[in-house]
């Protein structure tokens, strides 16, 4: 979806009025942060020390959001009002400042994301940046909601976590609800759809014939005939809800499979001694993000050659004969690496040694 970012400002009764709508972008001279910085500098020159900031955004660049915070922090007081949507990076601003929202505002938090490309060194560097950014967002949400970082992790562990205004208020993300609903524009609907919002509202137009208009819009959005009955509408809504639940279940199963495959890939790499156990978490995250690329990286890593493979058959036979009477204690004391190799390559013999040692 193409961004139609708009940032405007005015002054009313010595209070700055700043409006930010659409995606928080990062394009040189027209970047979100550079525009906000210039606005704040102009307000300060006019002697303005407070600002009311309206934001209606699906998020965007985490770097730009941080710079917007830095610009706004030059003012003595900043209060935020959320329009139809505050998602992703936009919610970091919500976590920073006192925030009001309309009764039909929607919110979404999730772990920050990045796209990466390059060799192992570059990918690991990008991963470190992502880990740091995730920790920063987790800390911000925990502070605003007065929750532990573990509780924030539980909220977003399965992906996008959506909240109504009422849920955001109950969790402590926002501070006040404006009882009247926000007017939902076509632009807001496009942003909600692009974010995968679970509730896509109807356009709020003129108030006359509101009930009739809402019903017509509902029927049209459901793809029903104009003369659809209440029973048909209810049946269609229930069917859509069931499909949405099935889609969520399929998504959860796909995520679980992705995690299982990534873990199997990384465990095999450790077993093959291509990576160390200390590197497991790093490669696990990489594999879940891009399995094929991580598999290619691991495949390119050298496999240490076992000492036994360098021995000729006669030498290996002598070693095996010498170890024929070894107990589990002997292996632990004299050659623990050989014991670990036996567990993988000769599990029956490994089990026999353990049974003899433990007497079962």
User: Known catalytic residues?
Assistant: 88, 110
In 3D space, the residue among 103, 231, 163, 192 whose CA is nearest the CA of residue 222 turns out to be 231
Cα(234)–Cα(356) distance, integer angstroms: 68
In 3D space, the residue among 5, 30, 155 whose CA is nearest the CA of residue 95 turns out to be 155
- As to burial, measured by CB atoms within 10 angstroms (0-12 exposed, 13-18 middle, 19+ buried), residue 160 is middle
Q: How far is CA 290 from CA 23, 96, 304, in A?
A: 26, 32, 25
- As to burial, measured by CB atoms within 10 angstroms (0-12 exposed, 13-18 middle, 19+ buried), residue 16 is buried
In 3D space, the residue among 85, 132, 137 whose CA is nearest the CA of residue 111 turns out to be 137
Structure token digits, residue 160: 């996008």
Cβ pair 188, 58 in contact under 8 A: no
Question: On the CB side of 290, how many CA atoms lie within 13 Å of its CA?
Answer: 14
In sequence order, the 6+-apart residues with CB closer than 8 A to the CB of 299 are none
Strand 161-164 and strand 176-178: pairing? unpaired
């Amino acid at each position: 979806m193409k961004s139609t970012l708009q940032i405007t400002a005015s002054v009313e009764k010595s209070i700055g009025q700043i409006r930010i709508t659409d995606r928080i972008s990062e394009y040189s001279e027209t970047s979100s942060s550079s525009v906000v910085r210039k606005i704040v500098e102009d307000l300060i020159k006019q002697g303005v020390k407070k600002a009311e900031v309206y934001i209606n955004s699906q998020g965007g660049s985490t770097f730009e959001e941080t710079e917007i915070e830095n610009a706004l922090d030059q003012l003595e007081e900043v209060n935020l009002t959320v329009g139809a949507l505050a998602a992703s990076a936009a919610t970091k601003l919500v976590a920073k400042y006192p925030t009001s929202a309309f009764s039909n505002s929607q919110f979404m938090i999730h772990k920050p994301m990045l796209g990466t490309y390059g060799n192992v060194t570059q990918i690991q560097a990008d991963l470190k940046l992502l880990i740091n950014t995730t920790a920063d967002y987790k800390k911000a949400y925990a502070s605003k909601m007065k929750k532990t970082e573990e509780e924030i992790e539980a909220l977003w562990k399965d992906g996008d976590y959506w909240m109504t205004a009422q849920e955001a208020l109950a969790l402590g993300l926002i501070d006040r609800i404006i009882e009247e609903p926000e007017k939902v524009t076509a632009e807001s609907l496009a942003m909600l759809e692009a974010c995968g919002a679970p509730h896509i509202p109807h356009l709020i137009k003129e108030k006359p014939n509101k009930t009739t208009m809402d019903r017509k819009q509902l029927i049209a959005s459901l793809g029903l005939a104009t003369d659809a009955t209440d029973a048909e509408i209810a049946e269609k809504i229930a069917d859509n809800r069931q499909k949405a639940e099935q889609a969520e279940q399929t998504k959860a199963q796909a995520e679980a499979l992705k995690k299982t495959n990534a873990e199997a890939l990384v465990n095999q790499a450790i077993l093959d001694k291509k990576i160390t156990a200390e590197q497991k978490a790093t490669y696990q995250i990489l594999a879940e993000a891009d399995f094929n690329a991580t598999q290619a990286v691991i495949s390119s890593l050298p496999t240490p050659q076992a000492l036994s493979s360098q021995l000729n058959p006669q030498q290996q036979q002598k070693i095996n004969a010498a170890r024929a009477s070894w107990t589990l204690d002997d292996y632990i004391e004299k050659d623990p690496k050989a014991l670990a190799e036996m567990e993988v390559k000769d599990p029956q013999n490994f089990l026999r040694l353990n049974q003899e040692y433990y007497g079962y």
